[in-house]
Amino acid sequence: MTRPGAETADLLRRVREAEMVPAHIAIIMDGNGRWARERGLPRWKGHREGMKAVRRSVEGALEAGISHLTLYAFSRENWGRPAAEVRALMALLVEYVEREGQELLSNGVRVTVFGDRDRLSADARQSVEVLERTTAPGTALQLNLAISYGARDEILGAVRSLAGQASRGEIDPEAIDAPMFESQLQTSGIPDPDLLIRTSGEMRISNFLLWQIAYSELYVTPVLWPDFGKSDLYNAILEYRRRERRFGRVEA
């Protein structure tokens, strides 16, 4: 792991002293293309630089004691981008696994991937399967990668599954409740995010974890994803600490 500078180290100290630290942080990683455009570079170079921010965020989550980190790596809508950019993204996914797999394993990071992986290129699909299998023993941090993921499709899939079970007489429709519905989601077994971070300043959810973020605290930063560092992560956690989470309730 990289050694933090003095300011970042002070932020980390304050995070570690905090009484309330989010157990699960989800991040919409936005701004790779804008970062590249501002520098006159092709978009794929922005995506490559974004890989470094992924590494910093994983290290920061480990240092802060976060138990779950979910990254929105590739959305269902991203398949509509130019074919050359999609191919570059698939290649970068393979490269990420090759470069970071051993480091993740060494640091006790367990990786899980959810989304429509059938649409991934063969080598990208094989890479994520290997990464999940080799990091399975990790207990320090669960890193969830949303790849080829869309929340509306996820919700529709859960509805279809429950409808099919009901039509076959396997369940009573009246018995369907939130836990049963959640068991059909791709994130089944993963706690809902406490904190959702979006980079690049955009005020959108972008079809990400629509069910799961019902009561997540939202934090939007203007920092573009390739520039996102540990200090940005720690500042988001400290802001989360200042929030009052009421879940629709008020004190008497």
Is the Cβ–Cβ distance between 61 and 16 less than 8 Å?
A: no
How does strand 141-149 pair with strand 109-114?
parallel
CA 18 vs. chain centroid, Å, equals: 23
From 10, 32, 78, 153, active-site residue: 78
Q: Nearest-CA neighbor of 38 among 197, 223, 233?
A: 223
192: annotated active-site residue: no
Is the Cβ–Cβ distance between 53 and 230 less than 8 Å?
A: no
Cβ count near 246 (within 10 Å): 9
From 10, 30, 177, 227, active-site residue: 30
232: annotated active-site residue: no
How does strand 217-220 pair with strand 24-28?
unpaired
User: How many residues in total does the chain contain?
Assistant: 252
Active site residues: 30, 78
